[in-house]
Structure 1
């Protein structure tokens, strides 16, 4: 029913009272006790210590939350009442403080399909079939002709490259997941697979390496989580600190969200636990979590390397590695850390790389880290999300605040919550104060200088609609499913177009339509050509200041010259080859 966190991590007990020693015995009986052999006194004291330890170890599980203390900084917190999460619920893997909160928690999570979901541990399906699970193409999919499959892929924009790529599924039922997992998918709102899930899930279930590129908000997280969950179900825990699957992300917020989605899918599955290893949060609870037969580790590279140095985790039994937001993870900032981690993973592991954008240089490195991968591209590669209406405005620096206030006053454009991206932490704080003062809107700033608990609170409040405006640095620009955000404003244009694609994608999650407004001026002149190449084909109107800019014309001339030189070099090589062939 409960798993105690650790016998060593008991709540602090009151210090024992010191009784003053009596100098003289007051009676013959006292004298006899004093004169007793020293050996008996030692044995009695040992027995007393053992009894006290046994009482401490066998302390009953607390029945009511009012009996539980409040947590110290860094200690686990009960998911229901916020008190000290002394126990781990064996059904949902969440932190609980008492039997009362466990009952309330289970009532909340299984309201739709009852306790039957949590009693599958002894059923043949959850014990034997999951371990012997092997993806087999559904009869319905097998009976489709090649022409029909190609038509489906063309209509959905699915492009897959590789040897013997399995066909996409049309429904999740075609994967023949365990019943509990299928129910979890429905409860979480995943009725039908998105295009990236249709192709990536079956490929991942077969154990193939994958490099997937798809729009922001297209469902890539579930696309890699489903193969990860099935692989973890099939694996036996070698020891508590040996996970079966590893998921690496660039930010703490993204790691937290991925763990929440993983727990949604794993709810009720036997012996499935996750560990969240991220910086900015206390280390001891994360180390303690690793002692509970963890199957899936989700973390950031820096904190994972820190724990690896302490030898508190072993990666020699990892069977699947996921690198989310691969374009960021394989850049110079994270690249060496990721490579150091992968060196400790067995060579025969499965690798899943996902991102909305994968530049050419990153693509080459990704191919080196994978073996015979299947490359999956959904829609146009490295292009802005099609569900987002893009508006590019020419705004000089001194006029940016005034233009922002105009947008927030426009009834047609203003749809709270609004996410406003800026390029620095100080700018976020100053703009937040200005919006609060001038517009009287509930506004908050989020950036890397905020404490982790503050950032978690802001993200949760944003998802629950508690804020009208959130001013953010690039910290919210990647991966997070901000499903209720319909308007994004790039107050400061990002430093490159890949970041632009990610940031505007916060407004078009999971097929919902949104709007992205971007302020540009001559400070962003080096991006004029890229902006024209990526945004103009979508039908968005660019300001004349960009289209008529001499900077754009110069960039176009250099780009044309570069392409001409490349063509000439290829023709020169062909001519040399023809001359050599003629001589022979």
Structure 2
């Protein structure tokens, strides 16, 4: 059995941090500032030590060398979680047990309370057996650059043993003829617009990433790039602004995270609370998912810390996180503006900005907030915009946020995911529950876990109770009234396969990576076809085939024409009640009439504003 070694933990940077990094304290920072030679003296002292016992002895605050006896008098790293206290409001929390997160795990950059929780955390993250957490010195200590906690000794970007990275087109890609490249793009449904568009990569190895980053990609399960990654990654790595539109679940998150990580590696953390990369998302669930994937990519990379700034969670721990040397900030606009107003964060060093789900972010609810944030970012930053749907009006506004962008569209723009079999059923309101129970009892259709989308929170709770009572399946409801902890637990349970049926409002409908869902039921038809595209896409993630069943009736008559225009081309069979509906006939008649007389819904721009005014003036005369 491994026993923990007593360590001197009341230091931020003078001692190697390959076990657990103690949280920095403000008084220690003041001491470091007043004595600029102290870090160098401590480093020389630690380099001279030969054995484990000697390595623990470093220079103390007053410059005298402390012995191993003195170290034992200092507070040891806690071995077991039961020895740790519970956190006060605003203090960091252990990711495993919820106790006071007194230490930072050097391997994953997460808060832990003891060596026991660190071992469990490493085991959960797939980084060995976890037993190394109880060793003062392990095999990997000499193989990787140690990560000091104090920002003053920040070594910046790539590790010591790895050269500075810059993207160069792989000889294999350069050797392809123009006809071969076009054929690849045509087969994969890749469409591009812009000047100097980079050729798509075929494998991640063609990017020539540093070995640590390449290893993290493989460990996270990203063996081969998806079409949007093939085209977006090389353009993002060369510093181009990008507007990308691709199917839900096509891998857009990794497509913009790789350029973000590389840009963060290039630049040192300038100072506390000054990140070099900013990612904006509309929902906290999406932000949490993006941060999780970002952490997977930066494991083992020196001085690569992320901060999650979202509403619905306590503010003090997020402010505490910003006191470290943060490289990447993932945030929702509202919480980010709140922190900016408190002067706890500066964006004047940001050199890359990502706006995910840009169609939602540029609507009236978020538009002003996004513009307010971007005003504080330097003008020469790189911008990456991504979403499954980018309507014409939104695309025109998005174009104002970028300079000379590369536009990337994968597959047919704004169409439901091609991997999803869409079934539309005409079901009247009183018969919806009965039809849902029939689907859940049909062995050909039922593939757990099933996601059922409804249009209101009360409906989600009531339907969940009915499903559990009638079918006996393990059902759970998720919506915005649930606490953040409860929603996280449900999402994790869904990904782990613990729940058979999840009844949800639109919370789950925007880019969450539900890789194990094969059946989606739209119990209530979404309010817009864009939301329909996103919800249907839950069942066809990353190339997997799935089924989406949608209940339709006259309550959805406003969408009849859009449903026919966008679903019928996919080969799906539409119910006769829909095709023979007088509401559909009327909408088709109006559409034909509009096409003949010209649309009155012209998008107003600076160029055509005067023409529109003159046109209306003539009508009045």
Q: TM-score band, normalised by the shorter chain?
A: 0.7 to 0.9
Q: CA distance change for structure 1 residues 569 and 496 in 2, over 3 Å: closer, same or farther?
A: closer
- Kept after mapping to 2: 8 A contact 1:158/1:379: yes
Aligned residues: 526
TM-score (norm 1): 0.86
Q: Which residue, 237, 241, 263 being the options, matches 1:209? A: 241
Q: What displacement does 1:158 show?
A: 0.3
- Whether the 8 Å contact between 1:160 and 1:374 is mirrored in structure 2 is yes
Residue number in structure 1 paired with 2:151: none
Describe the shift of the 1:87–1:166 C-alpha distance in structure 2 as closer, same or farther (beyond 3 A). same
Change (3 A) 1:384 1:433: same
2:22 is aligned to 4
Structure-2 change in CA distance of 1:373 and 1:440 (3 Å): same
Q: Which protein shows a greater Rg?
A: 1
Partners of 1:353 and 1:70 lie apart in 2 by 41
Report the equivalent of 1:67: 83
Post-superposition Cα deviations, 1:39-68, rounded to whole Å, max 9, x if no partner, equal xxxxxxxxxxxxxxx99x953322333321
Structure 1 pair 324–171 and aligned structure 2 pair: CA distance change class (3 A):
same
CA contact (8 A) 1:130 1:230 kept: no
Secondary structure of 1:444's counterpart equals: strand
Write out aligned runs for 1:297-376 (5 A).
297-376=329-408
Answer whether contact 2:285 2:512 (CA < 8 A) is retained: yes
3-state SS of the aligned residue for 2:243? strand
Distance 1:567 1:283, change over 3 A: closer
- Residue of 570, 591, 605 corresponding to 1:559: 591
Tell me if 1:466 matches 2:498.
Answer: yes
User: Which of 223, 228, 249 is matched with 1:196 structurally?
Assistant: 228
2:128: which partner in 1?
111
Runs of 4+ off more than 6 Å: 122-125, 567-570
Q: What do residues 417-470 of structure 1 show as CA deviations (whole Å, max 9, x unaligned)?
A: 111111111111111111122222111111111111111111111111111111
Structure 1 residue 530, shift from structure 2 partner? 0.6
Please tell me whether the aligned partners of residues 130 and 234 of structure 1 are also in contact (alpha carbons under 8 angstroms): no
> 1:392 corresponds to which residue?
424
What's the counterpart of residue 117 of structure 2? 101
Write the distance in 2 (CA, Å) between the matches of 1:321 and 1:425.
34
Higher normalized helix content (fraction of residues): 1
Is the deviation greater in 77-86 or in 348-357? 77-86
Structure 2 Cα separation of the partners of residues 185 and 197 of structure 1: 13
- Partners of 1:568 and 1:314 in 2: how far apart? 45
Structure 1, unaligned runs of 5 or more: 10-53, 574-584
Instruction: Return the match for 2:508 from 453, 472, 476.
Output: 476
Gapped regions of structure 2 (runs ≥ 5)? 1-16, 28-69, 131-137, 148-154, 603-607, 609-621
Which of 123, 141, 144 pairs up with 1:120? 144
TM-score by length of 2: 0.81
| C-alpha distance in 2 between matches for 1:449 and 1:396 | 28
1:490 aligns with 2:522: yes
Q: Give the alignment partner of residue 447 of structure 2, picking from 407, 415, 433.
A: 415
Partner residue in 1 for 2:106: 90
Q: How big is each residue's C-alpha offset from its partner over 1:226-259, in whole Å with a ceiling of 9 and x where there is no partner?
A: 0000011111111110011111111111111111
> Do the aligned partners of 1:3 and 1:90 also contact (CA within 8 Å) in 2?
yes
**Residue 523 in 1 paired to residue 555 in 2?**
yes
- SS in structure 1 opposite 2:487? helix
Corresponding residue for residue 270 of structure 1:
302
CA distance in 2, matches of 1:465, 1:513: 18
